[in-house]
Structure 1
Amino acid sequence: MPSDILTARLVRVTPLCLNSITYISLCWATGGSAVQGQLVGKRFVVREFLGAGAEAQVYRAIERETDHEVALKFQFARGHETVRTYRGDGENLAHAAHLGMLLADVRGVPEVFWHGRHGERHCLATEFVDGISVEEAICKARPVRCVATLAATLGQICETLSAMHDSGLVHCDLKPENLLIGARNDLLHILDLGSAEFIGRPFRGGTSGYAAPENLDQLGPVSARADVFSLGCVLIEMTTMKLPYGGQEGRPEAGLAPLPAADAALIPTRLRDLALRMVAYDPDHRPRDARAVLAELAPLLPRLGDPRPVKAWDPDPTARYRCCVSAEPPRAVRRARRITSCPACAARIPRSRRPRA
C-alpha cells in the first residue's frame, strides 16, 4: 500500500490516545501478526491483516464450516486507556453490529454475520468486500475531473444513504476511507457504522474535517443534513484535493465561505452549486437528505449503454448505471447465520427487520 495512503488513513481519524497511535503503527509494522492463525468465536480463522482505524484493526478471515471469506474487525488490545474509554470503544463495535442487523437488506451495507468477544476484545464479522476505497481512488487521480465518475460515486452513496435515512439513521462518519468500491460488482459500500445514530439523538462522534459544524460540539441532535454535509466534503475533496472551511479543526465562523473562489472554480460547473450547498454552514440551506441530493444528481448519472469513461476507475462505479447489473435479488443467503437480537438492542429494532433464527 502506498505510504501516502497509509499516512492519510492515520491522520484522518478521530483523536487517539498515544497508546492507540503506537498500536496502529505496530500493527502496520508487524502485519497485525498478533492474532493471525487464531480461531475466533469458534468459527473464524484469522488469515491476513488488512488495516487499522481509530478504534479497531481489520483482518481477512475464513469461516471454517463454509470456507467463506469475512472481514473480522477487532477492538484494539487494552493499553493505557481508562476502563471507561476502553469499554466505550467496544460498545461502538457492538453498536455497529446492531445497526448492521437493522440495515440487513440494504444494498451497499456489508452484511453482519457475527458479533462477540475474543478474550476481552469485542469482534465483529461482516461480509468481505474486495476492492478499493474512494480515498485510494482520489490519491491516484489527484483530482477527479470526470463528471460521470463523480455523479456515479455520489449517486451510489446516496442510494444507500437514502435507505438509511428512511430507517431513521444517520451515518455521521462519511469520509473517503469509509467508502469502498467492490471489485466483483462495482458496487459502492458504506463501511463503519460505529458512529451512526438515530435522527434526533445526540451526536456520537465523527472525523474532523468531515463532521457538520452543528455537531462539532457534540451537543446538538443529528439529522440527515449532517450526512449531506459530510458527503459534500467528499465531493469537494475529490475535485479540489481540499476540504471546506480549511478542514475545520474547530467550528468555522458563521458566514465564512466554504472555499476560496479559486478553489471553488476547480469543481466541475455542473456540480459546483450542489457541492457548495451541501456544505453550507446553516443546515437549513443544505439539501434535506440523501434522496434530495440523488434527485439533483439524476440528470448527470450515466445512462444504460453509455461508453466507459476514458479515465474510468477500476473498479468503476459508473458500471452500476451503464450496464444491466443494478437489478439484484434481495439478500437471502446465510440469513440464519446472522447475529441474533440481544436484550440491549431488541427494543430498537422493528420485529419485521430482525434476523430470522
Structure 2
Amino acid sequence: MAETDTRLIQGRYRLQEVIGRGGMGEVWRATDESLERRVAVKCLRPLGQQRDPAHLAVLRERFRREARVAAALQHRGITVVHDFGESDGCLFLVMELLDGRNLSQLMTDNGKRPLPVGEVVDIAEQVADALAYTHRQGVVHRDLKPANIMRLTDGTVKICDFGIARLGADMDFTSRLTGTGIAMGTPHYMSPEQIGGGGEVDHRSDLYSLGCVLYEVATGLPPFDMDDTWAILIGHRDTIPAPLRSRRPELPGYLDLAVLDLLAKAPEARPADAAELGRRLVSGRTGHTPAVPSAAAPVHPLPAWARTLAPGRPAASSPAGQAAPAHDPAATLTTAWTQAGPGNPAGTPPSGTSTTEIVAVLAGRHRAGLGLGRLGRWTEAADLLRTVVRDRAHVLGDDHPDTLASGYELGFALSRLGRATDALDRFAAVAEGRARTLGGDHPDTLAARQESAYVLGGLGRHAEAHDVYETVLAARERAMGAEHPDTLRCRHNLAFTLGRIGRVTEAYATAREVADARTRLLGADHPDTLATRHEIGHALGRLGRWSDALAQHREVAEARRAVLGDDHPDTLAARYETGICLGRLGRAEEATVLYRDLVGARTRANGPDHPETLRARHGLGVNLGRLGSWDDALAEARTVRSGRARVLGSDHPDTLASHREAGIALGHLGRWPEALAEYRHITATRTRLLGPGHPATRAALADENHCRDRLGGGAGD
C-alpha cells in the first residue's frame, strides 16, 4: 500500500499518512468517516496468494480471535482497539490515535540517555498496573519493548499491540535462528523461556520483558547490550545483569532490586504477578517499609514473593480483629510447623495441611532464601535455607531435585559467609545426590562439583581443585561443547587454578583461549570476557611480562569503568592489579597516586576495615617504601596489620604479610630489634600452621636470619 494511498478501507476508514513501520506492517493516521474521529489503522503484511487456502483460513480465524481479545481489553493503560477486519488481502486493526511518543523515541529525544528517575518510576507503576489488569484477563503480551509502550502528552502510559506478537508468529513475521528452533522476537527483551523454545510462556515472561525495558530507560542501555544476537540470548539465559545503580547510582534502591527480581532467570523466582510489582513500587516510593525488628538489624526490602508469604494462621491467643504485631518479613518465612520442638519433634505440618500446600510454601521459602542472599543477608539466607533443606527432605526425600537445589544454595550461602569447610561438605553431598538421581554428567551435578572445586581453591587446596575442574571440564565438553558458556566458565576457573599451582604458561594459554571464545560469543566488553582478560594480566605478571600485564589490566579497568562504573568492585580490582604492575616496573610514584585514590574508593564502597580496603592500603605502604618514605610505609603497615588481625585473624596469611612489611620498614629505618620481633612472629606462626619444611616457613626463617646477621654486624647504619 503506497504512502499516498488515501483509499477507504471497508468504505469507512480513510488512510492519510504512514506514522510508523515495523516488521509486521505499517501504522497509518486515518479518519473514521462514520464517526468522524481520528484513528490509527495498523495494516499487517498482505497475506499473499502463495499460501495454502486451508492455512489462510486458519490464520484469518486466529486473527479474529486475537483481535477480539485485544478489543475486549478496557483499561486506561491499554491502547483501545475499535475494529478489525480484512481488506484486499491485508488484515487490519483500528485503534485509538495516541498523541505522544513511545519509550524508544523518548530515549532518542533524550540523546540516548536514560529518562529522569521520577519518570522511570511513574512508567514502571503505570505499566505494572496495566499488565496486572491484562494478566487477570488471561492475556499475555509476549513482545513488550520500548517501541510498544507509549507515553502520552498528558503523562498517561499505554501498552500497544496486545495479541499481535502471537499473531505474528503464525504469519511468519518472526525469523528463526538456523537449526535452533528459537523463535526470534526482539532479542534485547526476550525472556529465557522464550529463548528456550517449546517451554510454557505465561504472564511471568511479560514481567521479564518489562524488567528489560525498565533497565534500559533507567540506565540508558538494555541489560545485555551486544551486537551479536547469540551473545544477547546467552546473556538472557546465563548472565546475571549488573545492578542498575552500578550504572546510575542515583536510582532508588527499591527500583534497582525490583528490576533485578523481574530479570530472574527462572519464572518462579520473579514477582508472582504485576499487581505485586505495582504494590512494591508504590511502597518503595512512599517509604512504607516493613517494621524494623531491632535497632541493630535494619530490614532491607525483600523481593515481592518473600513479602507476601504469611506466617500461617493467627495464634489462638490473639484477640479477634486485633492486628498482628509487625514482623521482619524474613521471620514470617519460617512457619510454626517447620520448627521442631517439644510439641512437634519432627517439625511436621498441622493436620489438614495438604502436601501440595506444603510444597508450595517450601518453594516460596526457597525463593526467599535466594532473595536474602541477593540482599547480602547471608546469615539469614543460610539459616532459612537450612530449614528448607530439612523440610524438603522430610516431605520430598533427600535426593529430590528440589531438596538438592536448596542444598546447593545453602552451600553457596555458607561459602559467602567464609564457612568454606561446611560449604564443601554441602556441595559434595549435593553432587553425590544429583549423580545418583540425574547422572554424573548432568549439568546440575557438574555445577555442584564445580562449586566444590571453587571452595577447594578458596581453602588453598589448588591441586585438588585442579583435578575436579579437569574432570568437570571433560564432561562439559562432551555434553555441551567446547564453547558453551558453562564450559567456558569451567575453563576460566581451570586457568586460574593452573596459575596457583605454578603452571603459569598453561594458565596463560588457557585464559587466552577462553578470552577469545568469550569475545566472539559475548563481546570484548562483556563482564565475563573482562574477567578472563583480568586473569590473562595476572598470568603475564607471573611470567615476568610486566609491561604486557600493565597494558592488559589498564584496558580491563577502563572497560569495566565504562560498563560497570568507577566504584564497582571489579573495576577496583583491575585498578589494584594496575598498581601492582606499576610497582614492579619501578614506577612507584604512579603506583602511589593510584593506590591513594583506590584506598578512597574502597573506603567509600566497603568501609575502612574491609579486606579489600586494607589490601589497597597494603599496596600503598609497599610503594611508599619503594619511594624511600619508610616512616610513612611503617605507619601504613602497622595500621593494615591491626585491621587485618581484627577482620581476618592474627594467623591469616594477609596479616602475616603486613607483619613482614612492618619488618622491612623497620629494617630500613635501622630498628633491627623491632624488625626481628616481627620476623620471629611470622616464623613461629607459619611453623605452627604449615610445618617447618613449608616454603613459606623457610622464607620467613631466611628473613629472620638476615635480621640476626644485621644485628650481629651492628647494622644500625
TM range (shorter): 0.5 to 0.7
1:266-285 to structure 2, matched below 5 A, reads 266=248, 268-270=251-253, 271-285=255-269
Shift of the 144–155 alpha-carbon distance from structure 1 to 2, 3 Å rule, reads same
Distance 1:56 1:89 in 2: 16
Matched, 1:149 2:119: yes
Shift of the 253–278 alpha-carbon distance from structure 1 to 2, 3 Å rule, reads closer
| Contact in 2 for aligned 1:70/1:127 (Cα 8 Å) | yes
Task: Report the 3-state secondary structure (helix = DSSP H, G, I; strand = E; otherwise coil) of the residue aligned with 2:224.
Answer: helix
Aligned to 2:240: 257
Distance 1:112 1:145 in 2: 29
Aligned to 1:9: none
Matched, 1:234 2:203: no
Pick one of 162, 167, 171 that aligns with 2:141.
Answer: 171
Shift of the 140–162 alpha-carbon distance from structure 1 to 2, 3 Å rule, reads same
Aligned to 2:191: 212
The C-alpha deviation readout for 1:225-261, integer Å capped at 9, x for no partner, is 11111111011111222222345543447552223x6
The C-alpha deviation readout for 1:129-164, integer Å capped at 9, x for no partner, is 111111111122332353221110111111110001
Aligned-pair CA distance for 1:205: 6.6
Aligned-pair CA distance for 1:91: 6.7
Residue identity matched to 2:7: Q
Task: Report the 3-state secondary structure (helix = DSSP H, G, I; strand = E; otherwise coil) of the residue aligned with 1:189.
Answer: strand
| Contact in 2 for aligned 1:209/1:243 (Cα 8 Å) | yes
Task: Report the 3-state secondary structure (helix = DSSP H, G, I; strand = E; otherwise coil) of the residue aligned with 1:42.
Answer: coil
Task: Report the 3-state secondary structure (helix = DSSP H, G, I; strand = E; otherwise coil) of the residue aligned with 1:291.
Answer: helix
Aligned-pair CA distance for 1:116: 1.0
1:118-157 to structure 2, matched below 5 A, reads 118-141=87-110, 142-144=112-114, 146-157=116-127
- Point out the structure with the larger helix share: 2
Shift of the 109–39 alpha-carbon distance from structure 1 to 2, 3 Å rule, reads same
| Contact in 2 for aligned 1:100/1:109 (Cα 8 Å) | no
Distance 1:275 1:179 in 2: 17
| Contact in 2 for aligned 1:169/1:196 (Cα 8 Å) | no
The C-alpha deviation readout for 1:188-220, integer Å capped at 9, x for no partner, is 1100111259xxxxx987321101011213311
Task: Report the 3-state secondary structure (helix = DSSP H, G, I; strand = E; otherwise coil) of the residue aligned with 1:155.
Answer: helix
Aligned to 2:587: none
Distance 1:92 1:211 in 2: 23
Aligned-pair CA distance for 1:172: 1.0
Matched, 1:192 2:176: no
Aligned-pair CA distance for 1:82: 5.5
After alignment, is 265-274 or 53-62 more displaced?
265-274
Aligned to 1:351: none
Shift of the 123–255 alpha-carbon distance from structure 1 to 2, 3 Å rule, reads closer
Residue identity matched to 1:150: V
Task: Report the 3-state secondary structure (helix = DSSP H, G, I; strand = E; otherwise coil) of the residue aligned with 2:187.
Answer: coil
- Point out the structure with the larger strand share: 1
Aligned to 2:35: 66
Shift of the 74–255 alpha-carbon distance from structure 1 to 2, 3 Å rule, reads closer
Task: Report the 3-state secondary structure (helix = DSSP H, G, I; strand = E; otherwise coil) of the residue aligned with 2:200.
Answer: coil
Residue identity matched to 2:151: I
Aligned-pair CA distance for 1:263: 7.6
The C-alpha deviation readout for 1:75-125, integer Å capped at 9, x for no partner, is 2245798659x958867754541222331x222222222111110111111
1:78-93 to structure 2, matched below 5 A, reads 87=56, 93=63
Point out the structure with max Rg over C-alpha. Answer: 2
1:19-58 to structure 2, matched below 5 A, reads 32-33=2-3, 36-58=5-27
Distance 1:196 1:112 in 2: 16
Q: Tell me, which stretches of 5 or more residues in structure 2 are unaligned?
A: 168-181, 288-717
Matched, 1:296 2:280: yes
Distance 1:262 1:46 in 2: 43
Distance 1:53 1:145 in 2: 24
Distance 1:262 1:147 in 2: 12
Distance 1:218 1:255 in 2: 15
| Contact in 2 for aligned 1:111/1:127 (Cα 8 Å) | yes
Distance 2:11 2:148 in 1: 28
Please, what TM-score do these two structures have when normalized by structure 2? 0.34
Residue identity matched to 1:210: Y
RMSD: 3.1
Residue identity matched to 1:61: A
Residue identity matched to 1:192: D
Task: Report the 3-state secondary structure (helix = DSSP H, G, I; strand = E; otherwise coil) of the residue aligned with 1:108.
Answer: coil
Residue identity matched to 2:37: H
Aligned to 1:116: 85
Task: Report the 3-state secondary structure (helix = DSSP H, G, I; strand = E; otherwise coil) of the residue aligned with 1:250.
Answer: helix
Shift of the 148–208 alpha-carbon distance from structure 1 to 2, 3 Å rule, reads same
The C-alpha deviation readout for 1:19-56, integer Å capped at 9, x for no partner, is xxxxxxxx8xxxx515x210101111111111111112
Shift of the 150–81 alpha-carbon distance from structure 1 to 2, 3 Å rule, reads farther
Distance 1:125 1:195 in 2: 17
Distance 2:49 2:211 in 1: 37
Pick one of 140, 147, 150 that aligns with 1:180.
Answer: 150
Distance 2:238 2:187 in 1: 20
Shift of the 234–213 alpha-carbon distance from structure 1 to 2, 3 Å rule, reads same
Residue identity matched to 1:250: L
Shift of the 44–54 alpha-carbon distance from structure 1 to 2, 3 Å rule, reads same
- Count of residues in correspondence between the two structures: 264
Task: Report the 3-state secondary structure (helix = DSSP H, G, I; strand = E; otherwise coil) of the residue aligned with 2:142.
Answer: coil
The C-alpha deviation readout for 1:316-346, integer Å capped at 9, x for no partner, is xxxxxxxxxxxxxxxxxxxxxxxxxxxxxxx
Residue identity matched to 1:188: V
